[in-house]
Amino acid sequence: MIVWTQSRIRRLMEQARQARGAIESLFVDDAISQPDSKWAWGQFFHDTREHKQYGIYGTSAGTQVLILAGRGPGNRHVLGARKLLQESYTSQDQNNRFYKDHHYHLIYKLTSLIEAEIADQEMIAEPSAAMRDLISRLLPEQGWGEFRNSDSDRDIESRITSTAVALLALRKYRAFRGTHECEKAVTWLCRRLTEKAAPAIYELGLGILALTEYRGLGDRVATLDETLALATSRLTEWAQSRKRILLGADESHHYPASCDGSRGNRYLFFLPDCLAALAFLKVGCPQRTRRYVLNVVHFFVTNIINKRGFRSVSRNHFCTVDHLWVYKLLSEFEVVEVSNLLPQPYYSWATMPRLAKVVTSLVFLGIGAIGLYFNSLSAQSRQPLSSWKFVFFSALTAVGLALFSRSVWEHIQGKN
């Protein structure tokens, strides 16, 4: 088990910055050039196929990562990727496969486009065409379904995943927050997160991320704070029982889709540990979650630095969208105060002044020495201690010397 001290956490933050740099390089090195100065990314890095696949998810992920990395909207990759995404959405030419194959009828591809549009903006004053499209798909008194081809061919059932990602895509459009539709969508999400007996971990993670963005609606949505606390508690219970060997495993989200009236199923993959850790950071990293967050960050950072990226276990690929989520996690982790990440039982020790640590160590040593002294004195005299005194001083010796040894060990670990 890793002993998390302030210096170790600071070192992890440095490693997180290094890992973010590695992710940025992956996107830069694997950008796919397209005609007319456009750029794109596919589902996987290091794609060995002759005709490299590219799509909305990968291109949105690349755009977001490069902007988060500080490349700016004028960067040639960002500029070219946004141009490609915009044309894929607006062009009704049959040569546009995204239009011909109804890609943007899926809620997740539409929200991916919007996330790429808003990545470098703090607040949206006027919604884009894609944002207006997304808002128009909101079901009456509910949230969002997962596809819409037309009014007669659409998903009429709201779902946690689709509603959470839609709310996240609209989080920077402040005027939307004041609408009745927004209030009802957040209310529906709260109700569903509360009522669903066993939500998937990615549903809890996405739900928490969405609700934290709309906390200001607490005066209009009476159940918001209560739902956020309940979802966080459920996610915490899962995280505390999570085995280290499972870190990095993914969950799949299967959902209905329709193309020209013919129904089918699609799927998305999520990294539950990444989403859970990010959600905990967004809600303030409660004490019970800190060790888990640190372990998750350490896992992804180590993988990315040592293996030049994170390879999905089940898919056996370096997935672009996975790296977007990991990049968001590391970015959020790096801005948290170290003292707000220290887990118990090392929190008090790690934050003590140096003199207090020395005095505390000497007190522990003194307690152990007192117990050892009286037991030794009794052994050398003709009047042995009574049974209860012998047990008491033996326990005093064991506890005192154990605490002293532990404090010295933590001091050594803090320097490493």
The model's pLDDT over 228-251, given as tens digits with 9 standing for 90+, comes to 999 999 999 999 999 999 999 999
3-class secondary structure, 175: helix
Span 302-325, average pLDDT? 93
Residue of 376 and 102 predicted with greater confidence? 102
Tokens standing for residue 40: 């794109």
Give the pLDDT band of residue 314 (cuts 50, 70, 90): confident
DSSP state of 154: B
Q: Which residue has the higher pLDDT, 46 or 113?
A: 113
Nearest Cα residue to 20 out of 279, 341, 328: 328
Q: Is 265 helix (H, G, I), strand (E, B) or coil?
A: strand
Please compute the mean of the pLDDT values over residues 249-255 and round it to a whole number. Answer: 92
Residue 366 pLDDT grade (very low, low, confident, very high; cuts 50, 70, 90)? confident
Tell me which of 324 and 151 has the higher pLDDT: 324
pLDDT at 369: 78
Query: What's the rounded mean pLDDT across residues 208-216?
Result: 97
Lowest mean pLDDT among 94-103, 336-345, 361-370: 361-370
Show the 3-state SS of 279-334. HHHHCCCCHHHHHHHHHHHHHHHHHHHHHCCCCCCCCCCCEHHHHHHHHHHHHHHH
What distance in Å separates the CA atoms of residue 43 and residue 187, rounded to the nearest whole number?
Answer: 34
Whether the predicted pLDDT of 280 surpasses 60: yes
Would you call 268 helix, strand, or coil by DSSP? strand
Indicate if the pLDDT at residue 57 is higher than 70: yes
403 pLDDT more than 70: no
> Percent of the chain beyond pLDDT 90?
71
Percent of the chain past pLDDT 70, that is, above it, reads 85
Confidence of residue 376 (pLDDT cuts 50, 70, 90): confident
Q: How far apart are CA 391 and CA 403, in angstroms?
A: 18
Mean pLDDT of the 395-408 span: 69
Model confidence over 65-90: pLDDT tens digits?
999 999 999 999 999 999 999 999 99
Report the distance separating Cα 271 and Cα 242, nearest Å.
13
DSSP-based three-state secondary structure for 95: coil
Q: pLDDT digits over 141-183, tens only?
A: 999 999 998 888 888 899 999 999 999 999 999 999 999 999 9
| Residue scoring higher pLDDT (117 or 47) | 117
**Three-class secondary structure of residue 410 per DSSP:** helix
Q: Which residues contact 143 (CB under 8 A, 6 or more apart)?
A: 158, 159, 160, 162, 163, 166, 167, 185, 188, 189, 192
pLDDT tens-digit profile of 132-141? 999 999 999 9
Query: Please, what is the average pLDDT of the chain?
Result: 89
Instruction: Note the pLDDT of residue 410.
Output: 59
Pick left, alpha or beta for residue 46 (phi over 0 → left; psi -120 to 50 → alpha; otherwise beta). Answer: left
Tell the residue number behind the tokens 């690349």, with chain if given.
Answer: 62
- Contact in structure between 35 and 317 (CB atoms under 8 Å): no
Q: Check if the beta carbon of residue 133 is closer than 8 Å to that of residue 109.
A: no
Average pLDDT of the residues in 35-48: 90
CATH 1.50.10.20 fits 6-348, yes or no: yes
Query: Sign of the C-alpha dihedral, residues 305, 307, 311, 313?
Result: negative
Q: Answer left, alpha or beta for residue 36, where phi above 0 means left and psi between -120 and 50 means alpha.
A: left
d(CA 281, CA 290): 9
Tell me, what's the pLDDT at 393? 62
- The predicted-structure confidence for 331-355, as pLDDT tens digits, reads as follows 999 999 999 999 976 545 554 556 7
Query: Domain-by-domain residue ranges, the chain?
Result: 6-348, 352-415
Q: Would you state the pLDDT for residue 416?
A: 45
Q: Which of 70, 101, 3 is nearest to 345 (CA)?
A: 3
